[in-house]
Amino acid sequence: MDIKPLTGGLGAEILGADVRDAAQIPAIKQAFTDHSVIVIRKQDITPDDHLAFARQFGEINVNRFFKPVDTHPEIAMVLKDENQKSAIGERWHTDHSYDVEPAMCSILHAIEVPQTGGDTVFASMGMAFEHLSPAVQAFVLDLKAWHSSRHAFGAEAVSSEPNKTGRVGNTHAATQDALHPVVIRHPLSGRRGIYVNPDFTTRIDGLSEEESDAILQMLYRQCERPEFHCRIRWQPGDVTMWDNRATWHRAINDYHGHRRLMHRVTVEGVALSAA
Ligand code: SIN
């Protein structure tokens, strides 16, 4: 297989691989650890193959809020139809940060993609932290922040975005709140990285609302710098997996009138430690 970095700091493209081949899994795992986001091109796989590949990394975490594939309840559908305006995952976020043990990785398989558009953009939380000035690094290292599923998946959020038909609308299950360090030490690489995100982080613990907002906005502007990003342009069959403890991501919603269908499997993670 050929592993080609996508940018100076985040992401790699893998050509000539087969996720069904057990002999290739160690090299894929290494590429995942090294690059945090990997796109494995041209995978002709079934939903069972997708799940078997995900299980090489850990237990499956079944998403409570997305509509599942009829035949495979462990696979979530990420769907935008021709007649929908909004898309799932349009804002920068980290999957499942509202869980006490947030998901390790998400694995997206492209089933139907528009001719153009519908890319996914990723941001490196390690690079974002490393490029803060030392004084700001020292300040944020001691902080913790609250994350919640309520405002994103609760009744208010779902009723205000009725076009997101890919979701179950399982609003009563949106009850998770979790406290995590603002800067974590990555469980696999040991690298330090920012762990707050605009979709699910609600507040820095122990600060006033004004103080919390100011610090979070400063960190978000840092993470939004394009030199910390990579962008995946999808082809049908591509499998992209990303480390939720090392990255943010957002779906680019620039393909109105066209259909895009992804299958997503999420893998369990561990409790996160301060850096
Ligand atoms: C997601 O946020 O998990 C979906 C990303 C995408 O559809 O590109």
Select from 181, 183, 159, 184 the least CA-distant residue to 171: 159
**C-beta atoms surrounding 194 within 10 Å:** 27
Catalytic residue annotation: 93, 95, 249, 264
Supply the pLDDT for residue 162.
46
pLDDT tens figures, 218-238: 999 999 999 999 999 999 999
Q: Are 43 and 238 in contact (CB under 8 A)?
A: yes
* Domain definitions of the chain by residue range: 2-269
Helix, coil or strand: residue 75: strand
pLDDT tens figures, 1-37: 999 999 999 999 999 999 999 999 999 999 999 999 9
Per-residue confidence band for 66, with pLDDT thresholds at 50, 70 and 90 = confident
* CA 78 – ligand 1 centroid, Å: 7
Checking DSSP bridges between strand 177-181 and strand 247-251, what pairing results, if any? unpaired
Supply the pLDDT for residue 198.
96
Domain 2-269 CATH assignment equals 3.60.130.10: yes
Average the pLDDT over 185-198 and give the result: 96
- Distance of CA 94 to CAs 143, 253, 256, Å? 18, 17, 24
pLDDT at 168 over 60: no
Question: Which ligand 1 atom is the nearest neighbour of the CA of 264?
Answer: 3
Share of the chain above pLDDT 70, in %: 91
Supply the pLDDT for residue 159.
47
Supply the pLDDT for residue 63.
82
Mutational test site, ligand 1, from 108, 111, 199, 248, max ligand atoms within 8 Å of CB? 108
pLDDT at 163 over 50: no
Mutational test site, ligand 1, from 37, 106, 107, max ligand atoms within 8 Å of CB? 106
- E strand or H helix at 229, and its extent? strand 229-232
CA–CA distance, 47 with 69 (Å, rounded to integer): 9
Full-model pTM? 0.93
* CA 263 – ligand 1 centroid, Å: 10
